[in-house]
Homo-oligomer: A and B are copies of this chain.
Amino acid sequence: MTRPVRLLLADDHPVVRAGLRAVLETEPDLEVVAEAATAEQAVALAAELDVDVVLMDLRFGAGMNGAQATAAITARPDAPRVLVVTTYDTDADTLPAIEAGATGYLLKDAPPEELAAAVRTAAAGRTTLAPTVADRLVNRLRTPGTALTRRETEVLVLVAEGLSNQRIGERLHLTLATVKSHLVHIYAKLGVDSRTAAVAAAVELGIIRRQ
């Protein structure tokens, strides 16, 4: 018999850690070797212990977030795989996590069998994505025109802060006409027709960060 897959659970909710542990320890080939309540702790434990897969939440109460921790973990040589298990499936969450090197991305509403299967897949170095996340990635590749330019993003951020076009122009050293021109392009790319709708879309797409 081969060695069991050694797991590290990283989540700031004790209840979720207990749930993951309960679900995964019913599988004889999986073994939970440690738990981390913060992202920093997860990075430290991943470096220190011999684990195969880290189950990583994305949001922690304070400090480093899950994507940053994922990047820190996967940057080391001989790093364990990171399987993101979270409640959030927006662009703002998924894309940075995958860019940071996550081997898989599951939502917490996944049934236990799927979770165990994803852990084994991750241990083997292959990717499991939740269907909604997979859809998102495919769409991202299919519609490259969606990306905003640097300048457009700058304008959109200021729009989201509630500034008028005039003020935005002053802030970026542009004329009112230029700001409007950028906005027209932004609306077209985001498929909206007003500044408030653009802000809503931007928040949804993770272009704008907050909280």
Interface residues of A (CB under 8 A from B): 12-23, 61, 85, 87-90, 108-112, 115, 159-164, 192-201, 203-204, 210-211
Contacts and interface: CB of A to CB of B under 8 A. Distances in A.
A120 to B, nearest CB: 17
Contact of A17 (B19, B90, B196): B19
Residue from the set A85, A89, A159, A210 with the largest chain B CB neighbour count within 10 Å: A210
B211 A160 contact: no
6 contacts: A13-B87, A13-B108, A88-B211, A160-B196, A161-B200, A162-B199
Contacts of A203: 203, 210-211
A18 B197 contact: no
**A-B CB proximity, top 6 nearest:** A162-B197, A19-B19, A18-B19, A15-B19, A18-B22, A13-B108
Given A160-B200, A198-B162, A200-B162, A112 B192 contact: no
State the copy count for this chain.
2
A199 to B, nearest CB: 6
Contact of A22 (B21, B193, B204): B21
Contacts of A195: 196
